[in-house]
Amino acid sequence: MSSLRRFVCLAVHDTCMCTTFGRKSLLLVQPAKYNSLRSLRTSASRYSRWPTYKNSKMKPRTDAAETPFENIKIDGGPVGLSNLWKPLGFTIFFSSASFAGAAIWQYENMRAKAIALVKKPVGWMDGRTHRVKKWGKWRQEMNSWWNGLTEGQRIFFPLCFANLLVFVAWRIPRLQGTMVRYFCSNPASRTLCWPMFLSTFSHYSAFHLFANMYVLHSFSSGAVAALSKEQFLALYLSAGVISSFSSYLFKVVTSQPGLSLGASGAIMAVLAYVCTKFPDTKLSIIFLPFFTFPAGTAIKVIMGLDAAGILLRWKFFDHAAHLGGAAFGIAWCNWGNTYIWQKREPLLHWWHELRGGRIN
C-alpha cells in the first residue's frame, strides 16, 4: 500500500476527473481552441437542449449539434426516461457478464497452475528457454521486467496501453467522426450502449489522460492485492459502464444532454473501494508531501465536492459519473464481495461440468 502515498488526492480531483467540452470550461488541460473533456458540452446545446415542439405532435426529435471538430455533428435534442431502458439493461448485462467472466477466468488460472504442478512439463520449460534465446537479449529483458511487476501493475499497463491507443486515434482526423459516435457516451445518440463502455477508455486531452492513469497506477496495486486481478478488472469495467449510466440518468432528469468520455468513473470506483477498505491509510498530495490525511476522509471530501457539483450545476466535470462510480466501489466493498463474489460456487460448478469436470 506504499504506492497509495503518491496519490494526488484533492488536487488531482480537479484535474483527472471526467471533464467537459463547454463554453464555461476554462481549465489548463487544453489549448484555447478546445475546452476540457468528460461532458463534451457543446456551444449549440443552449439552442437544442429541450426545444418546444410546435406542429410536431410533441414527438422527440434529434438535432445535430456542433463539436470542436470540423464537419462533425453530434446527436442532440430531448431524451425521455423511457429511452434509458436499453442502457439500463446493457448496464445490468455487462456488469453481470464481467463478474461471471472474471470468476471463470480465475477458475481457469487456478486450473492451469494445478495442471502445471501435477504434470511438471519439462519439455515446455525447455521450449520456453529456446524461444528466449531465439529472440535474444531484448526478449530476456522484457521477460525480466514483466516478471518483476506486481499483479496490479500487470493489470495497469494493458489498461494504460488501451487508453493510449484510443488517445492516438483521436489525433487522426479521418477517425474523429467514429470517435465522437462510439467513444463518447451521449444519451441523445442513436448509438447508446457500447459508447457507455468504450468512452471509459477515451481521452482527448493529454493532461486528462496522464492524470487519470497516474491515479489508476497509484491505486491499482493495493486494489488488486485486496481483490485479486480478476475481480479487480471486473470491478473496473463494470464501474465504467455504471458511471456512464449514472451520467445518462442525470442528463435526462436535468434536461442537460451532452457528450461524456474519460476513465474517471471507473477510477473513482477503485479509489472508493481502497479508501473504504483501508480508511486509515495515509494519503498525501503530490505537491504537498508533508501534508497527509486518512483515506477515509479523502473519499468523503471528494464525494462531497461531486455532490456539490450536482446540486450547484457545475459544468467542469461529469459529477454524476463520479458519484456513480464511487458509490459502486463503496457498495462492492461493503456488500458485493461478500454477497456476490463469494457466492460464485454454483457458476464455477456449472462451468466445471460444462468443460468436462476433469484436469487433462
Are residues 316 and 19 in contact, defined by beta-carbon separation less than 8 angstroms?
A: yes
- Grid cell of 186 as nine digits: 451521449
Q: Which of the residues 98, 220, 264, 284 is marked catalytic?
A: 264
Task: Report pLDDT digits (tens) over 9-59.
Answer: 433 343 334 444 433 332 323 333 333 333 333 333 333 323 333 333 333
The 10 Å Cβ neighbour count of residue 191 is: 14
Task: Report pLDDT digits (tens) over 102-144.
Answer: 999 999 998 888 888 887 655 444 445 445 455 577 777 787 8
* Positions of the chain with pLDDT lower than 50, given as ranges: 1-66, 123-127, 129-130, 132, 360
- Give the whole-angstrom CA distance, residue 131 versus residue 173: 40
- Give the whole-angstrom CA distance, residue 146 versus residue 222: 18
- The sign one gets for the Cα dihedral 147, 152, 155, 159 is negative
Are residues 167 and 208 in contact, defined by beta-carbon separation less than 8 angstroms?
A: no
Please say if 322 is a catalytic residue.
Answer: yes
161 in the Ramachandran plot: left (φ > 0), alpha (ψ -120 to 50) or beta? Answer: alpha
Q: Report the DSSP beta bridge partners of residue 76.
A: 63
Residues 6 or more apart whose CB falls under 8 angstroms from that of 23 comprise 35, 41, 43
pLDDT at 322: 93
Question: Could you give the 3-state DSSP secondary structure of residue 173?
Answer: helix
